[in-house]
């Protein structure tokens, strides 16, 4: 069963542009004050509100270390540092922030996982 995670935003257009232009998401559905984006099997909704929801981490899972590096190069202006291997979780990852301060993570698993 698919699901959508919604976030309130004070900067709708800037946030949507960031996820489309920088991350590579696509617009899945436009609603009166909400845009729902799709990145692979992930749906994220950004709705114009009086306050922004900025808690939590939005993680984008990609297939390879090279894909993490590619996205990192697009995110250097907002990245917290270069990608690194996380031995505990057996992932390769980097972190950054979106225009409203939400934490974003780009990661790939360094072991086999079940398909989603």
The torsion angles phi and psi of 59, rounded to 5 degrees, stand at -105, 130
Task: Give per-residue pLDDT as tens, 33-66.
Answer: 999 999 999 999 999 999 999 999 999 999 999 9
The torsion angles phi and psi of 71, rounded to 5 degrees, stand at -65, -40
Say what the pLDDT of residue 13 is. 97
In angstroms, the Cα distances linking 53 to 9, 11, 57, 65, 82 are 7, 11, 11, 30, 26
Token pair, residue 81, equals: 């540092």
Say what the pLDDT of residue 114 is. 86
101 sits in the region (left: phi over 0; alpha: psi -120 to 50; else beta) called left
Q: How far is CA 7 from the centre of its chain?
A: 12
Task: Give per-residue pLDDT as tens, 82-116.
Answer: 999 999 999 999 999 999 999 999 999 999 998 87
Task: Output 51 or 2, whichever has higher pLDDT.
Answer: 51
C-alpha–C-alpha distance, residues 67 and 33, integer Å: 32
What's the whole-number mean pLDDT along residues 24-36? Answer: 97
Domains, the chain, ordered by start: 5-109 (3.10.180.10)
Asked if residues 109 and 64 have their Cβ atoms less than 8 Å apart, the reply is no
Report residue 1's pLDDT band, with 50, 70 and 90 as the boundaries.
Answer: low
Is the full-model pTM beyond 0.85? yes
Say what the pLDDT of residue 63 is. 94
């Amino acid at each position: 069963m698919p699901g959508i995670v919604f976030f309130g935003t004070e900067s709708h257009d800037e946030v949507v542009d960031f996820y489309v232009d920088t991350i590579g998401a696509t617009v899945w559905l436009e609603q009166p004050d909400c845009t729902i984006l799709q990145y692979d099997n992930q749906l994220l909704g950004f709705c114009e509100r009086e306050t922004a929801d900025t808690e939590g981490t939005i993680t984008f899972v990609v297939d390879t270390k090279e894909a993490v590096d590619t996205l990192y190069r697009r995110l250097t202006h907002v990245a917290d540092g270069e990608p690194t291997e996380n031995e505990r979780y057996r992932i390769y990852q980097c972190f950054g922030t979106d225009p409203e301060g939400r934490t974003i993570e780009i990661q790939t698993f360094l072991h086999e996982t079940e398909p989603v």
